[in-house]
Amino acid sequence: MLRKIAAVLLLIGLCTPYSCDVRPVSLLAPKAGGDPWGYPATLIPVLAAMVYVAISLLPGAGAWAGRRGATIRGLLAVLFGVMAGAWLVGQMGDARGREHIDVSDWTMLAAGLAWSVGLLLWTRRRGASADQVPLMLLAILGLPVVFCFYPPSGLRYGGWILTAGYFLAVVAEARALQEAPVGPPGGPIATRPGAG
């Protein structure tokens, strides 16, 4: 039940103003002449959040993800690498040409990367591949959630809803994985409990 509440909060947070009156769902449409690194850096986490919501709320999507756990897990690892690289390149591009480097942006980027990598490493050897997929999706979403949290005064109500839903989802998925049996990395493909 906690997973479903968190998924609904994430969905509401995706559709409401996050900061600067931007709705995260609106980032799915590319803008002409935009930053080429900014698009994958924002698109991948929004898609990861939408997939998490679908897996959590739609039994058919959860069953589909359960049957393809190992494949999805590998794809998510690659997508995380692409997204993290895009964030780093984007931050380096922002810092180029400035007299003073904004330490708070680099600190929050390091915190977001540490949080997300920590979640990814924590999933290793816990449960089957299909059980790891939801927390891996949340690890992808974690980098921008942690990065954009500072300063908190910059968040609109959608940002607070999405952040609350995100951390609630992490707690729900971590509890579910903690109860799963410990196995080898990339363990056998199995469906998640309640996924279909």
The confidence score (pLDDT) of residue 44 equals 85
Q: Residue 142 domain-assigned? A: yes
In a domain, 191, yes or no: no
- Answer yes or no: is pLDDT of 173 > 70: yes
Residue 101 near residue 95 (C-beta atoms within 8 A): yes
pLDDT, residue 170, reads 94
- Interaxial angle between packed helices 69-95 and 129-148, expressed in degrees from 0 to 180 and rounded to the nearest 10: 20
186 within a domain of the structure (yes/no): no
Residue 189 lies in a domain: no
Task: Note the pLDDT of residue 28.
Answer: 67
Question: What range does the domain containing 113 cover?
Answer: 2-27+38-179
Is residue 190 assigned to a domain?
Answer: no
Q: What is the pLDDT of residues 102-146, one digit of tens each?
A: 777 888 889 999 999 999 888 887 777 778 889 999 999 998 888
Q: Which two tokens stand for residue 61?
A: 């999507």
Instruction: Indicate the residue type of 167.
Output: F
Helix, coil or strand: residue 127: coil
pLDDT reported for residue 150: 75
The confidence band for 196, taking pLDDT boundaries of 50, 70 and 90, is very low
pLDDT at residue 30 above 50?
Answer: yes
What's the pLDDT score for residue 138?
93
Q: Which residues share a beta bridge with 126?
A: 182
Let me know: does 130 contact 62? Beta carbons within 8 Å: no
Q: Which of 58, 65, 50, 57 is nearest to 10 (CA)?
A: 50
End-to-end CA distance of the chain: 15
Contact assessment for residue 84 and residue 112, using Cβ atoms and an 8 Å cutoff: no
Residue 189 in this model has a pLDDT that exceeds 50: no
Q: What digits encode the pLDDT tens for the residues 58-95?
A: 888 878 877 887 788 888 889 888 888 888 887 787 66
Is there a domain that residue 193 lies in?
no
Q: Which residue has the higher pLDDT, 193 or 52?
A: 52
Percent of the chain with pLDDT over 70: 79
Residue 98 has pLDDT above 70, yes or no: no
CA quadruple 47, 53, 54, 58: dihedral, nearest 10: 180
Asked if the structure places residue 187 within a domain, the reply is no
Our count of domains for the chain comes to 1
Residue for token digits 């997973």?
Answer: 3
- Report yes or no on 128 lying in a domain: yes
Instruction: Supply the mean pLDDT for the chain.
Output: 80
pLDDT at 7 over 90: yes
Higher pLDDT, 16 or 104: 16
Q: Are 9 and 164 in contact (CB under 8 A)?
A: yes
Print burial letters for 69-79: b (CB count within 10 Å at least 16), e (below 16): bbebbeebeeb
Query: What pLDDT is recorded for position 125?
Result: 75
Alpha carbon distance 83, 131 (integer Å): 22
